[in-house]
C-alpha cells in the first residue's frame, strides 16, 4: 500500500479556530435572543473596500483581456515588470533601500511564500520562531519534517524564542545556534514591533552564525512610530542574511484578491556544506517558483500596481488610518477599565492581558457570554500567549465603538 508523508500526519488540526467557531455556534444555540449582538474582533481579515484606483486598474486590465491586441497569456513566474518596477521604486527606494529588479518575486500570498520558502533547505536545518507565533511558520516546518515531536505544547526540534510581558513581547536572540529565524514585525498576534536596535541584534546574530532571517513585514504599513524599521534591509548587513516577505493583503485590503511579494537578495550566497557548491538563493528560489508556480493574474497585478500610484497611496493611508483608529478605540477602552494592553500603535492588533489571572480560554468564554464579543485566545498562538487575548481592528467603526462601549460599561469582576 502507498505510504503517506508521516510529517503531514503529525500536523494537528487547527483546533484554535475550529474551537472558536464551535463555541460561537453553541452560544448562538443557547442564546438565540442575542445572536445579532455578537461582535467579531477575532479573525485578522479586512472589511474596508479596495481603493477605487485599484478597482479601476483591474477593470481596465479585464477589458484588455477581451481584445486580441491587448490579451495576456502566462505571466512571468517572478511577476510582471511594471509591478516589480513599482515595488523597487515606490516601496523600497523611499525607505532608502536599493533592491534590484531581479530580487523581487511576486506571488499569490505571503502565506504561500512563508510556507514554501523553507523547501530550499535541508530537513535538518534548525529553525527558531517566537512564541506566540503565526502558525504557518511552524506548521510548514512540521510538514517538512523539521519539528520532532509535539510535547507540552511545543515541537521538540524547534527553538522557541519567548515573547513575554517581561521583554515587551520582543524576544531575545537565540542562546543556541539556529539556521533560520522567523521574525514577524509588527507582530501577529502581539501587535508589538521590533525597534531598530532589537532588529539589529537579530541581523548581527545571523551574520555571526551564518543564519538566515525570514522577515515577515505584512503589517509594515501600520507603523506609526519613528524608531521602528519598515524593512529589515534598513539594518546594515541585512541584505546578506534576510528574505523579506510583504503583502498587499493588510496594506491595501487584498485578502480576497491575493497578491504579495518577497525579496530574495542576490547577496545571499550559501556555501552549501554537503554539495560544496556556492549557491545563489535568488536563483534557487526562481527555479522553485518556475517549477511549481505559474505567476499571478494579470488583472491582480495591475490592481497591485495601482496601490503605488499617488491616488492609491492616499486611499491606502486613509484605510490604514481607519483601522489604526479602531485599534486606538479598543485599546483606550481596555486601558480605561484597567487592562494592561500591548500593540495597537504600529499594528492592527491589540494584545491584552486577561484580568484576574484568567486563562485565555476562560476570558474567551467570559467575553462571549457577558459582552457578546469574540476575540482570539492568546494561547492559540503558543504557550507564552496563555493569559493573553487578541483583538483585531479590522471590524467596522460602528462595531468597534459598540464593543468598546460594552467594555467601558462593564464591571470586570471574577
Residue placing its CB nearer to its own copies in the complex, 206 or 407: 206
Given 16, 24, 38, 120, the residue binding its own copies (CB under 8 A): 120
CA neighbor of 353 nearest in space, from 215, 179, 207, 165? 165
Residue placing its CB nearer to its own copies in the complex, 125 or 201: 125
CA neighbor of 121 nearest in space, from 294, 291, 274, 244? 274
Residue placing its CB nearer to its own copies in the complex, 71 or 409: 71
For its own copies, the binding residues in 352-381 under the rule CB under 8 A are: none
For its own copies, the binding residues in 188-247 under the rule CB under 8 A are: 210-212
Q: Are strands 127-131 and 180-184 parallel, antiparallel or unpaired?
A: parallel
CA neighbor of 114 nearest in space, from 141, 75, 93? 141
What's phi and psi for 144, nearest 5 deg? -90, -5
For its own copies, the binding residues in 253-292 under the rule CB under 8 A are: 253, 255-258, 270-275, 277, 279, 284, 287-288, 290-292
CA neighbor of 208 nearest in space, from 173, 184, 243, 233? 173
Supply the minimum distance, in Å, between the C-beta of residue 91 and its own copies. 21
Could you say whether residue 50 binds its own copies (CB under 8 A)? yes
Supply the minimum distance, in Å, between the C-beta of residue 362 and its own copies. 27
Given 179, 220, 244, 305, the residue binding its own copies (CB under 8 A): 179
Residue placing its CB nearer to its own copies in the complex, 326 or 341: 326
Residue placing its CB nearer to its own copies in the complex, 140 or 354: 140
C-alpha cell at 199: 532588529
For its own copies, the binding residues in 9-28 under the rule CB under 8 A are: 9, 11, 13-14
Rounded CA separation 356/333 (Å)? 17
Number of residues located near its own copies, criterion CB under 8 A = 83
What's phi and psi for 182, nearest 5 deg? -90, 125
C-alpha cell at 6: 508521516
Could you say whether residue 75 binds its own copies (CB under 8 A)? yes
Supply the minimum distance, in Å, between the C-beta of residue 43 and its own copies. 8
Given 42, 79, 171, 295, the residue binding its own copies (CB under 8 A): 295
Contacts of 384 (CB under 8 A, 6+ apart): 131, 132, 160, 162, 163, 164
Given 22, 25, 37, 62, the residue binding its own copies (CB under 8 A): 62
C-alpha cell at 32: 438565540
Residue placing its CB nearer to its own copies in the complex, 271 or 370: 271
Given 30, 33, 94, 124, the residue binding its own copies (CB under 8 A): 124
Rounded CA separation 202/171 (Å)? 10
Q: Check: CB of residue 294 under 8 Å from CB of residue 108.
A: no
Strand partners, 351: 342, 390
For its own copies, the binding residues in 296-355 under the rule CB under 8 A are: 296-300, 303
Maximum distance among all Cα pairs of the chain, rounded to whole angstroms:
69
Amino acid at each position: 500500500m502507498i505510504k503517506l508523508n508521516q510529517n503531514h500526519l503529525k500536523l494537528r488540526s487547527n483546533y484554535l479556530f475550529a474551537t472558536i467557531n464551535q463555541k460561537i455556534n453553541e452560544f448562538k444555540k443557547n442564546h438565540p435572543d442575542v445572536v445579532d449582538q455578537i461582535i467579531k474582533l477575532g479573525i485578522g481579515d479586512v472589511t474596508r473596500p479596495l481603493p477605487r484606483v485599484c478597482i479601476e486598474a483591474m477593470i481596465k486590465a479585464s477589458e484588455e483581456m477581451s481584445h486580441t491586441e491587448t490579451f495576456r497569456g502566462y505571466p512571468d513566474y517572478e511577476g510582471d515588470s511594471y509591478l516589480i518596477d513599482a515595488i523597487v521604486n515606490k516601496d523600497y527606494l523611499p525607505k532608502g533601500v536599493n533592491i534590484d529588479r531581479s530580487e523581487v518575486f511576486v506571488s499569490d500570498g505571503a502565506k504561500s511564500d512563508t510556507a514554501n520558502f523553507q523547501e530550499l533547505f535541508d530537513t535538518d536545518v534548525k529553525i527558531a520562531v517566537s512564541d506566540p507565533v503565526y502558525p504557518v511558520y511552524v506548521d510548514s516546518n512540521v510538514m517538512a519534517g523539521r519539528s520532532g515531536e509535539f510535547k507540552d505544547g511545543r515541537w521538540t526540534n524547534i527553538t522557541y524564542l519567548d515573547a513575554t510581558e517581561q521583554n515587551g513581547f520582543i524576544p531575545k536572540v537565540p542562546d543556541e545556534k539556529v539556521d533560520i529565524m522567523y521574525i514577524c514585525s509588527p507582530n501577529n498576534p502581539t501587535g508589538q514591533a521590533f525597534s531598530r536596535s532589537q532588529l539589529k541584534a537579530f541581523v548581527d546574530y545571523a551574520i555571526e552564525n551564518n543564519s538566515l532571517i525570514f522577515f515577515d513585514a505584512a503589517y509594515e504599513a501600520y507603523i506609526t512610530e519613528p524608531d521602528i524599521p519598515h524593512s529589515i534591509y534598513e539594518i546594515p548587513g541585512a541584505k546578506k542574511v534576510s528574505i523579506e516577505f510583504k503583502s498587499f493583503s493588510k496594506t491595501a485590503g487584498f485578502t480576497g484578491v491575493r497578491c504579495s511579494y518577497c525579496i530574495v537578495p542576490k547577496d545571499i550566497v550559501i556555501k552549501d556544506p554537503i554539495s560544496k557548491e556556492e549557491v545563489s538563493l535568488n536563483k534557487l528560489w526562481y527555479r522553485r517558483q518556475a517549477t511549481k508556480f505559474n505567476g499571478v493574474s494579470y488583472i491582480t497585478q495591475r490592481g497591485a500596481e495601482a496601490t503605488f500610484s499617488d491616488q492609491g497611496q492616499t486611499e491606502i493611508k486613509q484605510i490604514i488610518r481607519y483601522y489604526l483608529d479602531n485599534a486606538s478605540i479598543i485599546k483606550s477602552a481596555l486601558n480605561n477599565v484597567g487592562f494592561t494592553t500591548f500593540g495597537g500603535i504600529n499594528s492592527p492588533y491589540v494584545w491584552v492581558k486577561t484580568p484576574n489571572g484568567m486563562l485565555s480560554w476562560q476570558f474567551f468564554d467570559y467575553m462571549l457570554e457577558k459582552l457578546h464579543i469574540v476575540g482570539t485566545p492568546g494561547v492559540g498562538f503558543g504557550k507564552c500567549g496563555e493569559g493573553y487575548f487578541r483583538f483585531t481592528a479590522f471590524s467596522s467603526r460602528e462595531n468597534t465603538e459598540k464593543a468598546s462601549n460594552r467594555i467601558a460599561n462593564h464591571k470586570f469582576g471574577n
